[in-house]
């Protein structure tokens, strides 16, 4: 499950600053400026995603057609995003 636009807006509004700071602290070994750029890019990408209803309809059609075969990377990505979303709530 993808992080919803509302959850991303909560992060951007500053109501979830502690979570964002925690995520940045996890990557303390790397360059903070690079981390901030990556976080900004990921946020832009999430906001640019299509509507949830469109994604659900597309997935249903692919499942019914037998063409939905997620890779291990896609499954891991979804698990990580879901974990982040659960912590935001």
Q: What is the pLDDT of residue 35?
A: 76
Three-state secondary-structure class, residue 16: coil
Res. 11: pLDDT tops 80: no
Structural domain count of the chain: 1
Radius of gyration of the chain (CA): 15
Q: Which residue has better confidence, 35 or 4?
A: 35
- The range of the structural domain enclosing residue 48 comes to 5-88
* Confidence (pTM): 0.36
- What is the percent of the chain where pLDDT is above 90? 21
pLDDT in tens, 50-84: 788 888 899 999 999 999 999 999 999 889 988 88
In the chain, how long is the greatest CA-to-CA distance?
A: 45
Q: Whose CA is closest to 4, among 60, 70, 88?
A: 88
What's the whole-number average pLDDT of the chain? 79
Q: What is the pLDDT of residue 62?
A: 94
């Amino acid at each position: 499950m993808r992080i919803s636009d509302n959850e991303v807006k909560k992060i951007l509004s500053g109501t979830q600053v502690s979570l964002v700071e925690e995520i940045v602290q996890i990557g303390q070994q790397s360059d903070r400026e690079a981390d901030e750029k990556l976080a900004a890019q990921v946020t832009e990408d999430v906001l640019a995603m299509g509507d949830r209803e469109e994604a659900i309809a597309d997935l249903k059609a692919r499942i019914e057609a037998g063409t939905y075969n997620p890779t291990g990377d896609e499954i891991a990505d979804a698990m990580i995003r879901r974990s982040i979303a659960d912590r935001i709530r």
